[in-house]
């Protein structure tokens, strides 16, 4: 038996296992027998449309010049995308917002001691890549970074995570009055600055270590896809885990004339200056640090032993930002639904880039355009989706998901009522490996669509390869239970945190969201080398994976918008929550069994948490999810003649996610309303499942734990009730 067949059988069997009845084929999830044939026909038209030539054409145009949000070139790309959508037969318009954005007016960094050296914040293009040259490239700076000057000793704090700063405490060292030098990785860069600022640092320098995305991961550009010593990573330093979007309008939309928070006292962005640098430059500072040898795990890839400092290295940093209210441009395209016009399925990709953005994000923009062209072809052939499909091209994502967040806040009430799901595509391609994260109620839909997209390189489907890779990870990492060793692999979506435009949809409004990409070695993130030459040398020389992304995106859109019955399933969701809760419980146990160290007395002891109510409420949700999925499978295969009841059922199924919202929001971040998933408060990108509980365990705060556990239990019971109500609408078996 080949491994492909083997894996596919395993997948199917576990899909089947999610129900006590024979489930509908994942391919036709939500489609009644009477709709399947026409759906297949229109899908075939869409799938046949995207071509490598067109993918390249869009990418070439979009990435000719830097197009940071708020710039003239930024607007030109918006017009270009709008015009393409119109060409494809899709109604499209520009939707502007006035948002607070910064560009660098002046930035400089000097090593003062042991010897004065000017450190470069410019990225030079490479002579072997003419696309990496332009007169309009900003030097190294941080979106939403603070203006300011600082001159002080340097102290190295590894990745600048909370754990790293705590470990620094354990060494008897502090960043008070120092400039923290931290490396990129592990957590969102803004949270590195927040940790440093909260602990008294007066400036932060963030460098790209060769161990993380440089030569230790592969050959460096232009010989390979990884980061060369001159490349630096721009990016936002917003405190993303506290809330995305324009910091002058936290929780409401930046429409013209909107009320604004005092721009001199904004929450959620740094007060101390920060700068990104390359490892070529960082090495000059790091080499000049003495003091203690770094703790385990802090050594990077530069060829000398790292030391923590502080000093003798001293640096002077100077940052003057040009902050202003600037116009950003979302593009919103609409394909109106034929039956449930007031129900929306939203697709979104951002368009703004730190420089050329051939990967991030315009590989995704090219894919989105080819998807749109495919949908346009299907429309020409007579396709009308049941629900309205919205295609969004977001602006200013790089500053903090600004375009999408402002749009969501602008249409919050309508979205709460109308939205069925949001499918995000940021960078679509850096390689061959399909990666998918999202709300697991979308798992079966995702797997069904991925089963219908070929991996041209191998002749398998992208689902086969995804499943095999997930199974390898699972095999290596999942705990082994000697009493029940035969536990089966259950492919699932990992939950998503933040770092792209699904955030406002999912975390603020409770709209199920999915995000995917084809991944490979990629070290030029947010540098000038993220250009079309990189893509054509390394990422996707033949644009085959751009095409695969367009097809997958299109299938997801057509099935979500076209299905008679909303194609969500809740057993995968319940299983994901069970697995994640087990993991949280395991990690709480591990914390408690660590011996207390000499520095421990100052630290609160880990909690001995009681998970009973959460376990019981999750059990309730598990049971209800099973009942609902069975009922939905029955409706899928038998159809439902009563269209009014079907609409009510669709609303019930789509809105179960909303039950997880709590109007008061999460501890220390009220904008985040989802009690089941959120970006980790100290992580930013990565998700925390049961975020209030995890936050309480991290802070060792018993009162917070009790409150959050109670809240989670209530929301799980509510979702279980909603699922039972939906199941009841399906009728008796």
**Residues annotated as part of the active site:** 397
Residues near 703 by beta carbon (within 8 Å), at least 6 away in sequence: none
Residues near 263 by beta carbon (within 8 Å), at least 6 away in sequence: 100, 248, 323
Q: Where are the alpha helices (DSSP H) in 216-310?
A: 279-286
Contact set with a copy of itself (CB under 8 A): 3, 6-7, 210, 215-220, 224, 226, 293, 299, 301-305, 467-468, 471-472, 474-476, 479-480, 482, 485, 489, 582, 585-586, 589-590, 593-598, 600
Cis (ω within 30 of 0) for the bond into 560?
no
**Cα maximum dimension of the chain:** 81
Taking the least distance from each CB to a copy of itself, the nearer of 478 and 728 is 478
For residue 297, the minimal CB distance to a copy of itself (Å) is: 11
For residue 138, the minimal CB distance to a copy of itself (Å) is: 29
Taking the least distance from each CB to a copy of itself, the nearer of 225 and 438 is 225
Contact 109, 121 (CB under 8 A): yes
Cis (ω within 30 of 0) for the bond into 337?
no
CA angle 122, 430, 461 (to 5 degrees): 175
Cross-strand pairs, 102: 323
Alpha carbon dihedral 466, 467, 472, 474, in 10-degree steps, equals 110
Q: Where are the alpha helices (DSSP H) in 438-543?
A: 443-450, 462-477, 502-503, 509, 532-534
For residue 125, the minimal CB distance to a copy of itself (Å) is: 21
Taking the least distance from each CB to a copy of itself, the nearer of 215 and 553 is 215
Tokens 């536990």 identify what position?
487
Distance CA 253, CA 407 (A): 7
Distance CA 329, CA 666 (A): 30
For residue 538, the minimal CB distance to a copy of itself (Å) is: 11
Taking the least distance from each CB to a copy of itself, the nearer of 169 and 219 is 219
Taking the least distance from each CB to a copy of itself, the nearer of 251 and 520 is 520
Phi, psi of 279 (to 5 degrees): -75, -25
For residue 556, the minimal CB distance to a copy of itself (Å) is: 25
Three-state SS string over 428-441 comes to CECCCEEEEEECHH
Taking the least distance from each CB to a copy of itself, the nearer of 294 and 375 is 294
Taking the least distance from each CB to a copy of itself, the nearer of 5 and 638 is 5
Taking the least distance from each CB to a copy of itself, the nearer of 189 and 307 is 307
Distance CA 101, CA 245 (A): 11
Alpha carbon dihedral 656, 660, 663, 665, in 10-degree steps, equals -150
Q: State which H helix or E strand residue 180 sits in.
A: strand 179-183
In order of 330, 345, 557, 671, the CA distances from 388 in angstroms are: 18, 6, 10, 27
Taking the least distance from each CB to a copy of itself, the nearer of 464 and 657 is 464
For residue 301, the minimal CB distance to a copy of itself (Å) is: 7
DSSP 8-class letter at 267: T
Taking the least distance from each CB to a copy of itself, the nearer of 7 and 19 is 7
Residues near 473 by beta carbon (within 8 Å), at least 6 away in sequence: none
Residues near 617 by beta carbon (within 8 Å), at least 6 away in sequence: 712, 713, 714, 716, 717, 720
Number of helical H runs and strand E runs in the chain: 23, 16
Closest residue by Cα to residue 166 from 680, 682, 703, 681: 682
For residue 586, the minimal CB distance to a copy of itself (Å) is: 4
Contact 679, 663 (CB under 8 A): no
First to last CA, the chain: 38
457, two tokens:
């390189």
For residue 279, the minimal CB distance to a copy of itself (Å) is: 10
Percent helix, strand and coil across the chain, each rounded to 5? 40, 20, 40
152, two tokens:
């002080």
Taking the least distance from each CB to a copy of itself, the nearer of 220 and 561 is 220
For residue 589, the minimal CB distance to a copy of itself (Å) is: 5
Contact 508, 423 (CB under 8 A): no
For residue 488, the minimal CB distance to a copy of itself (Å) is: 9
Distance CA 484, CA 487 (A): 6
Closest residue by Cα to residue 429 from 354, 558, 352, 532: 532
């Amino acid at each position: 038996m080949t491994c492909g067949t083997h894996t596919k059988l395993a997948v199917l069997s576990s899909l089947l296992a999610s129900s006590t009845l024979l489930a509908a084929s994942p391919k036709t999830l939500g489609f009644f027998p009477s709709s399947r044939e026409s759906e297949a026909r229109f899908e075939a038209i869409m799938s046949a449309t995207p071509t490598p030539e067109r993918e390249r054409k869009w990418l070439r145009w979009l990435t000719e010049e830097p197009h940071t949000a708020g710039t003239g070139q930024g607007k030109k790309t918006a017009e270009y995308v709008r015009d393409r959508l119109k060409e494809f037969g899709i109604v499209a318009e520009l939707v502007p917002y006035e948002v607070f954005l910064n560009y660098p007016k002046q930035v400089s960094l000097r090593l003062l001691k042991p010897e004065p050296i000017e450190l470069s914040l410019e990225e030079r293009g490479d002579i072997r890549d003419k696309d990496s040259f332009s007169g309009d490239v900003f030097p190294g700076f941080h979106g939403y970074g603070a203006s300011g000057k600082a001159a002080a000793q340097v102290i190295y704090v590894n990745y600048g995570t909370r754990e790293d700063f705590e470990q620094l405490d354990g060494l008897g060292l502090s960043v008070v009055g120092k400039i923290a030098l931290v490396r990129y990785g592990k957590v969102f860069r803004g949270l590195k600055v927040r940790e440093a600022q909260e602990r008294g640092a007066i400036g932060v320098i963030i460098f790209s270590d060769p161990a993380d995305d440089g030569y230790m991961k592969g050959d460096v550009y232009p010989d390979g896809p990884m980061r060369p010593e001159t490349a630096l990573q721009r990016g936002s330093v917003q405190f993303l885990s506290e809330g995305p979007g324009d910091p002058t309008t936290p929780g409401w939309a930046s429409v013209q004339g909107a009320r604004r928070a005092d721009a001199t006292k904004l929450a959620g962005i740094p007060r101390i200056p920060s700068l990104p640098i390359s490892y070529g430059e960082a090495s000059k500072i790091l080499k000049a640090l003495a003091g203690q040898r770094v703790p385990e795990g802090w050594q990077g890839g530069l060829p000398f032993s790292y030391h923590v400092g502080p000093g003798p290295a001293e640096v002077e940093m100077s940052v003057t930002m040009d902050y202003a209210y600037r116009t950003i441009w979302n593009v919103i395209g609409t394909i109106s639904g034929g039956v449930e016009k007031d129900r929306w399925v939203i697709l979104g990709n951002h368009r703004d880039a730190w420089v050329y953005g051939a990967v991030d994000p315009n590989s995704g923009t090219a894919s989105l355009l080819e998807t749109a062209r495919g949908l346009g072809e299907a429309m020409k052939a007579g396709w009308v989706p049941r629900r309205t499909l919205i295609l969004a091209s977001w602006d200013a994502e790089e500053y903090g998901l600004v375009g999408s967040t402002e749009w969501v806040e602008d249409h919050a009430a309508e979205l709460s009522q109308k939205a069925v799901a949001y499918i995000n595509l940021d960078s679509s391609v850096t390689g061959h490996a399909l990666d998918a994260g999202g709300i697991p109620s979308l798992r079966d839909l995702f797997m069904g669509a991925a089963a219908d997209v070929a991996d041209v390189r191998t002749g398998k489907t992208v689902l086969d390869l995804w499943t095999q890779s997930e199974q390898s990870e699972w095999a290596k990492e999942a705990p082994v239970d000697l009493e029940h060793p035969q536990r089966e692999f259950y492919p699932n979506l990992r939950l998503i945190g933040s770092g792209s435009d699904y955030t406002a949809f999912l975390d603020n409004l409770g709209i199920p969201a999915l995000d995917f990409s084809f991944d490979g070695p990629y070290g030029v993130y947010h540098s000038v080398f993220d250009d079309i030459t990189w893509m054509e040398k390394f990422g996707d020389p033949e644009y085959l994976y751009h095409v695969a992304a367009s097809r997958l995106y299109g299938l997801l859109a057509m099935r979500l918008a076209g299905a008679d019955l909303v194609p969500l399933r809740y057993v995968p969701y319940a299983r994901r929550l069970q697995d994640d809760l087990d993991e949280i419980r395991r990690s709480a146990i591990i914390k408690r069994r660590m011996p207390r160290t000499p520095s421990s007395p100052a630290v609160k002891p880990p909690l001995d948490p009681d998970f009973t109510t959460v376990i019981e409420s999750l059990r309730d949700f598990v049971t209800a999810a099973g009942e609902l999925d069975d009922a939905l499978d029955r409706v899928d295969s038998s159809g439902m003649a009563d269209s009014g009841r079907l609409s009510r059922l669709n609303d019930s199924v789509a809105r179960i996610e909303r039950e997880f919202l709590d109007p008061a929001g999460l501890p220390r971040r009220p904008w985040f309303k989802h009690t089941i998933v959120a970006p980790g408060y100290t992580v930013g990108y990565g998700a925390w499942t049961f975020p209030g509980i995890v936050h309480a365990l991290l802070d060792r705060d018993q009162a917070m734990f009790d409150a959050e556990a109670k809240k989670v239990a209530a929301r799980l019971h509510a979702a279980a009730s909603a699922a039972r109500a939906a199941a009841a609408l399906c009728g008796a078996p």
